[in-house]
Amino acid sequence: MSVETAAAVAERFRELYGTEPEGVWAAPGRVNLIGEHTDYNDGFVMPFALPHTAVAAVSRRTDGVLRLHSRDVEGGVAELRVDALEPESDRAWTAYPSGVVWALRAAGHAVTGADVHLASTVPAGAGLSSSAALEVVVALALNDLYELGLKGWQLARLCQRAENVYVGAPVGIMDQTASACCAAGHALFLDTRDLSQRQIPFDLAAEGMRLLVVDTRVKHSHSEGEYGKRRAGCEKGAALLGVDALRDVAYDDLDTALDRLGDEEEVRRLVRHVVTEDRRVERVVALLESGRTRAIGPLLTEGHASLRDDFRISCPELDLVVDTALAAGALGARMTGGGFGGSAIVLAEATDVEPVTKAVVEAFAAAGLTAPRVFEAVPAAGARRLR
């Protein structure tokens, strides 16, 4: 996959708008190593940034006009007025960048317009946060140009608000924070309650291992509604247990909490996933920090079983990746992201990458599925200005 160069994006901006952009910025997609569906429960997550980025060339305007163009979507330049942006009025890709402008203005920042050209190498619909990358790159550009002085975590909060309120998707804070705050060579251990963070060195190559991303190329159509249902179920669990969020249920008290939920079978399963998943994140952090990286494999696989059996958001294609990779010798594997399609991650010895990849590709062919896209993921830099 080619990486967009700042020069090419700036050149296209000049062709479209007839002037030099004031700057060019990049924001990455992410994979989540562990900590799935914990972010809207105030829990722990551990994503890292991909080398795939959304790149934006941007200039300010003072006349209230917002012009948006993407290399990756058919159609010309969309022209909007910043004072006429209305939540949930836009169902196209433009909702992500214009939602950011809306969120900045709603928070009292005097953003008076912009010309934007975007180009992204983050695969869309693969569960790798292509939308968060679009949001964060525009937020960072406007933060710099309008000298707003917002920090990465503050931009992430604004982008989440854009997505929750303007786009209308009830997502948590993980993807935007990952794109804004990740660092090359590290995974981001993030407490989603207060956004405190720790960069955990994550250099698999130095230890003879690799992490593969397997994009199943499927996205099941019910995914969006199901996300909201899981979130509502978790909130119901927290209310029944009398806590602010499921993060407040201690792992050691899990059995008691589950007993208290009585015959609320579905809520019990959701609670069990969230509480055990938070625990897995903490265990993965402890293992990485004590140099026992290989030992995280079984925790990744346990996380998948929990998402499949308790949270019920896997699908046959994701299960096929995980089962096939493990049978072919992988150290661990799990779905990553929202679920119902998208991508899985596979941790493997460097020497097993070839047989594992071959096994997965052959299993997809044997099942009559579209060939998956498999690539190695090395933790890359978070959002930044390119020029």
Best CA proximity match to 91, nearest among 247, 224, 256:
224
92-120 burial string, b = 16+ CB within 10 Å, else e? Answer: ebbbbbbbbbbbbeeeebebbbbbbbbbb
Is residue 59 part of an annotated ligand binding site?
A: no
Distance CA 242, CA 257 (A): 10
**Rounded least distance, CB 35 to ligand GAF, Å:** 7
Neighbours of 153 (CB within 10 A): 18
Distance CA 75, CA 369 (A): 31
Instruction: Tell me the two tokens of residue 333.
Output: 């594997």
**Rounded least distance, CB 141 to ligand GAF, Å:** 22
| Cβ proximity of 27 and 180 under 8 Å | yes
Which lies closer to ligand GAF via its Cβ, residue 39 or residue 317? 39
Is residue 38 part of an annotated ligand binding site?
A: yes
Task: Identify the residue among 34, 171, 245, 335 touching ligand GAF (CB under 6 A).
Answer: 171
**Rounded least distance, CB 280 to ligand GAF, Å:** 13
Task: Identify the residue among 42, 90, 115, 175 touching ligand GAF (CB under 6 A).
Answer: 175
- Using the rule CB under 6 A, is 215 a contact of ligand GAF? no
Instruction: Tell me the two tokens of residue 138.
Output: 């525009």
**Rounded least distance, CB 265 to ligand GAF, Å:** 22
Beta bridge mates, 48: 31
**Rounded least distance, CB 246 to ligand GAF, Å:** 13
Give residues with Cβ within 8 angstroms of 290, minimum separation 6: none
Closest residue to bound ligand GAF by CB: 172
Cα distance from N-terminal residue to C-terminal residue, the chain:
22
Q: State the catalytic residues.
A: 175
Is residue 227 part of an annotated ligand binding site?
A: yes
**Rounded least distance, CB 337 to ligand GAF, Å:** 5
Is residue 179 part of an annotated ligand binding site?
A: no
Segment interacting with ligand GAF (CB under 6 A) among 7-15, 171-179, 325-333, 362-370: 171-179
Distance CA 22, CA 215 (A): 35
Complete edge-to-edge strand list for the sheet that includes strand 209-219: 332-336, 341-349, 209-219, 373-376
- Using the rule CB under 6 A, is 126 a contact of ligand GAF? no
- Using the rule CB under 6 A, is 337 a contact of ligand GAF? yes
**Rounded least distance, CB 172 to ligand GAF, Å:** 3
Is residue 163 part of an annotated ligand binding site?
A: yes
| Cβ proximity of 384 and 53 under 8 Å | no
Best CA proximity match to 15, nearest among 145, 117, 101:
117
Best CA proximity match to 264, nearest among 308, 232, 226:
232
Pairing mode, strands 373-376 and 209-219:
antiparallel
Is residue 125 part of an annotated ligand binding site?
A: yes
User: Binding pattern to ligand GAF, positions 18-37, x when CB under 6 A?
Assistant: ------------------xx
Binding residues for ligand GAF, how many (CB under 6 A)?
10
Which lies closer to ligand GAF via its Cβ, residue 37 or residue 304? 37
| Cβ proximity of 372 and 349 under 8 Å | no
Task: Identify the residue among 123, 338, 341, 372 touching ligand GAF (CB under 6 A).
Answer: 338
Which lies closer to ligand GAF via its Cβ, residue 154 or residue 223? 223
Is residue 39 part of an annotated ligand binding site?
A: yes
Task: Identify the residue among 21, 28, 172, 341 touching ligand GAF (CB under 6 A).
Answer: 172
Is residue 18 part of an annotated ligand binding site?
A: no
Pairing mode, strands 332-336 and 341-349:
antiparallel
Distance CA 90, CA 196 (A): 33
Binding residues, by number, are: 36-39, 70, 125-131, 163, 227
Contacting positions for ligand GAF (CB under 6 A): 36-37, 39-40, 171-172, 174-175, 337-338
Binding residues for ATP, by number, are: 70, 125-131
